[in-house]
Structure 1
């Protein structure tokens, strides 16, 4: 049971803890709504057009409406000032006439003679009256300075600035004021205008000021009505503009969206898709041009596909057909090569050259057949656990003779721990052999460094040479079929020009990377990166593509 002191604290803590998930949920809801709104804004042309048009229309309509309200207000005020001053002048003339024709000679009677008719007409016409001495102190209280006024008028409604004006001037003057009246124990205050004129009483010869206070409730109500009407009209106009803009934008955007969908289907390989053409306007002509373009693309793609299919079939057929005569020529060449010691020197040399070129021709046929299998999509992997260190060791032994003949020393750097990945060992060995022989071929008697490393997700092999290198842009072209950076340079390894292309296809078949880096005169580095587990995607490599000893670009 909780003590009385702990009970309120526990209640507050429970209340806060129960409210936090709600606040968090509301925050997440607001964030999600903002995210959806931003997504719509980025992806929808019609939404941007409608919102932009509505915002600009709101600004323009608001400015025009403000100018209209200001003009109406100024017109009402100017009209009220003119009517008030005209009525004040008329009442002053009539008051003077009554004083001149009156028979009363005391001040009180003459003040009553002036104020009584004004108060009666003011009660009918809706204005208040105050008659006060002009030579009284403007700071003094009018109730103690011999003034006479309408019954419910609060004399503080007359501004001090207007009273000061009549201490030194007899000209008609007016001022804005807050007209305050009392009645039934309550005080009401409305905006108004005070018009003052000066008269002189014959009884004492002193100047008196006639203040006529006109309320402006009607003008205020009229201005409020105009403002409300303008605001309602503005809101309706902005809504109508938004609706019209949406309809217009939809008429323009809908064909564009249809064109986008058809373009996406064309990009996905559905070359028979076309836009529906209706009408003769610009959009219809655009749809016709789009359909014509799609038809031309379909025809050209079909021609290219047919040509590619014929070429692949031709390469495959020629490669297979050349196998039979190559076997015969190989047998004859082997016999001549075995008997070369019985020939004279030129004939023996010809037999040796024939053997070398037959070897190269056989490799070329094998690689052409491999390329044709890749083109036909008939390649399958035989996945097993492969230690890349063992692969590199075998390749170094196989290429030792070529490296020694070129004066190149191959340096292998490995981490001293297994670098195992799931791969086709035969194809990985072929990739590494192509990279190493290519590096020896371009090393120009300098060392070749092979780096092996692995991490939790990927394993990699990098082959670095310090030879001629690659010019800018050649790091991507080097994997093209039969491409050579310098066709005039002699090959020392008898390459066919397809090795790197096949290596790239083998790397992609494993879901890996095969990348190249190089600088002119600074050598090159080729990096093979493979996923550790079959079916995974390579996201990074344990070996950087840019070598640590690469010279900075100046």
Structure 2
């Protein structure tokens, strides 16, 4: 799967996730509001319905007790209680309304009259309610009567009922009433179902509204994300179309201003970088001619140094040495400008790697200082001049900054050419390792003073990269530093003409 496709899928997942979060938040808010409203409405309606029902039933019961039970003779018979209870039940318009009248005798035996013996008996009256009804209250300024009407809601055979009771003041029967609340329960259940359906519809509506709101909000955000990705990919002319005056419009305007400033700064930096490259290239070319002449004169002076005054000879050797260093620096700068300008090209050929390495060491008189571990006949298709530059820099760096012996091993590994250059010196400090291939970087605090330009390893890396390979640096467990060069054994050169003779001199240890 390509990187672009993965990035697109991840962006789509993030977009969907944000949309899902918005929808969920909207739905939760709507659900909370709907459930709260439905719960409050149900509770208010329930209390109103039950209060109205019980007030009506208790008022009827109180009036019946006052008009009928109070008119009964003292110590009424069971038949009189029975008849009165039936009359009280018949006069009520409520369905399932039953009355129970209880009177006591001197012998302690109660006389009970039922309106419906199958529906309501004394066993159906909760003991707590009986205790409250028959308890005589002290008469005071705040309580004018010794007995009061009490009621409670109860369950009989799983059905809701209202039970009330009162005692005739001044002596007389105690009355109890029972009325069913089934109709009210059914009405409240219907109300609960209606509120539940309304809550579900509200939740569905909120989800649809959330979807629409998410689309409205996320579409500009998605455009902003796409624009930011294009900007990150280097398309600095990316701009957003701005409409409206809301926060997203302000964000789009800010993005456009930032993109414009970034484009301007990148253009300025590119112009300055291009000017710097031209300056370095022009300076290097301009210096080559006088340096060639100075180098020739310095070489003549070096040849005649033995015949010069002993006081002058050291100065001649110093001039010759510094002239060579300056010539090396100019050549390195010219090589760097080719890489920066993108004009460096490969000139590949079939190369015997071991012969090439041997020739590199022999040309610099390093054969006696290097231990070579390689088998002849290892062929690779690459640029021999650039391979020479890489090897010279790596081996020269090991000889100059490492410790003897310096070993070079060559092997083939799964279609790659692997060359390792190892020394037995103090190694490379951990804080220096990430920077050894940086331009002009010198670890002077940890190694002897470098006489190079600080470009050698950087140029070696550039030459490895143009082959499609790389160089890594590491420290060996038993001491010393190791540089590993990996190159493909069959390099295909990029199309296009070479930038010229490309005759950068080898800079060992720069």
The normalised TM-score by structure 1 is 0.67
Tell me how far apart the structure 1 counterparts of residues 133 and 463 of structure 2 sit (CA, whole Å): 109
**Pair 76,322 (structure 1): closer, same or farther in 2 beyond 3 Å:** same
CA spacing shift, 1:327–1:41, aligned 2, 3 Å: closer
Q: Does 1:262 align with 2:227?
A: yes
Q: 1:83 to 1:294 in 2, by over 3 A?
A: same
Give structure 2 stretches of 5+ with no counterpart.
1-8, 106-110, 137-146, 493-510
- Corresponding residue for residue 273 of structure 1: 238
What is the match of residue 177 of structure 2? 212
Contact 1:179–1:213 (8 Å) recurs in 2: no
How far did 1:460 drift? 4.2
Aligned-residue offset at 1:499: 1.0
CA shift, 1:99, in A, is 2.4
Once residues 285 and 56 of structure 1 are traced to their aligned partners in structure 2, the CA distance between those partners, rounded to angstroms, is 28
8 Å CA contact 1:479–1:500 kept in 2: the answer is: yes
> Aligned to 2:23, which of 25, 46, 50?
50
**When the two structures are aligned, how many residues end up with a matched partner?**
466
Aligned to 1:234: 199
Name the residue aligned to 1:131: 100
Give runs of aligned pairs for residues 286-365 of structure 1, distance below 5 A.
286-340=251-305, 342-345=307-310, 352-365=317-330
Unaligned runs of 5+ in 1: 1-35, 137-144, 181-188, 405-409, 536-554
Structure 1 residue 239: deviation in Å? 4.6
Aligned to 1:485: 443
Match runs of 1:120-269 below 5 Å: 120-122=90-92, 124-131=93-100, 148-150=114-116, 153=119, 158=124, 161=127, 165=131, 172-178=149-155, 190-197=159-166, 210-242=175-207, 250-269=215-234
Three-state SS of the structure 2 residue aligned to 1:100 is coil
Provide the rounded CA distance (Å) in 2 between the counterparts of 1:75 and 1:446. 102
**What's the counterpart of residue 62 of structure 2?**
89
Given the superposition, is the C-alpha separation of residues 452 and 176 from structure 1 closer, same or farther in structure 2, using an over 3 Å criterion?
farther
Aligned partner of residue 395 in structure 2, secondary structure: helix
Q: CA deviation at 1:338?
A: 4.5
Return the alpha-carbon distance in structure 2 between the equivalents of residues 156 and 387 of structure 1. 118
1:110 aligns with 2:110: no
Query: Does residue 499 of structure 1 match 2:456?
Result: yes
Cα distance change on mapping 1:90 and 1:287 into 2, 3 Å: same
Match of 1:474 among 423, 426, 432: 432
3-state DSSP class of the match of 2:177?
strand
1:297 Cα deviation (Å)? 2.2
For 2:225 and 2:475, the matched residues in 1 are separated by 41
1 CA distance for matches of 2:440 and 2:210?
58
CA offsets per residue over residues 358-409 of structure 1, 9 Å max, x none?
54444333322322221121233345677877766665656664995xxxxx
In the alignment, structure 1 residue 511 sits paired with structure 2 residue 455: no
1:53-64 alignment, distance < 5 Å: 53-64=26-37
* Alignment match, 2:346: 381
> Residue 392 of structure 2 corresponds to which residue in structure 1?
433
Quick one: distance in 2 between partners of 1:532 and 1:121? 113
Name the residue aligned to 2:143: none
Return the offset for 1:129: 1.4
Q: Which residue of 2 aligns with 1:21?
A: none
What secondary structure is seen at the aligned counterpart in 2 of 1:192? strand
**Counterpart contact for 1:430–1:503, Cα < 8 Å:** yes
Tell me, yes or no, if the aligned pair for 1:422 and 1:534 is still in contact at 8 Å: yes
For 2:166 and 2:378, locate their aligned partners in 1 and report how far apart those are by CA, in whole Å: 109
Q: Which has the higher contact order (CA 8 A, sep 6+)?
A: 2
- For the residues of structure 2 that align with 1:315 and 1:282, how far apart are their CA atoms? 48
Aligned to 2:43: 70
Q: How far does the alpha carbon of each residue in 1:308-354 deviate from its partner, in whole angstroms, 9 at most, with x for none?
A: 22332333333334444444444444444445555454566555555
CA distance in 2, matches of 1:55, 1:420: 70
- Once the two structures are superposed, residues 422-442 of structure 1 have per-residue CA deviations (whole angstroms, 9 ceiling, x without a partner) of 654443442233122223322
2:3 match? none
Q: RMSD between aligned alpha carbons?
A: 4.6
Distance 1:388 1:159 in 2: 111
**Residue pair 2:231, 2:238 contacting (<8 A) in 1 also:** yes
- Contact 2:83–2:113 under 8 Å retained in 1: no
How far did residue 210 of structure 1 move? 4.2
- Partner of 1:125, secondary structure, is coil
For the structure 1 residues 198 and 236, does the alpha-carbon distance in structure 2 shift closer, same or farther, using more than 3 Å as the test?
same
Aligned-pair distance for 1:117? 0.9
Cα deviation code 1:422-467 (max 9, x no counterpart): 6544434422331222233222x55545566665475544444465
| 1:131–1:293 Cα change, 3 Å | closer
* Kept after mapping to 2: 8 A contact 1:411/1:450: yes
* TM-score (norm: length of structure 2): 0.72
Q: Using the alignment, how far apart are the partners of 1:334 and 1:225 within structure 2?
A: 112
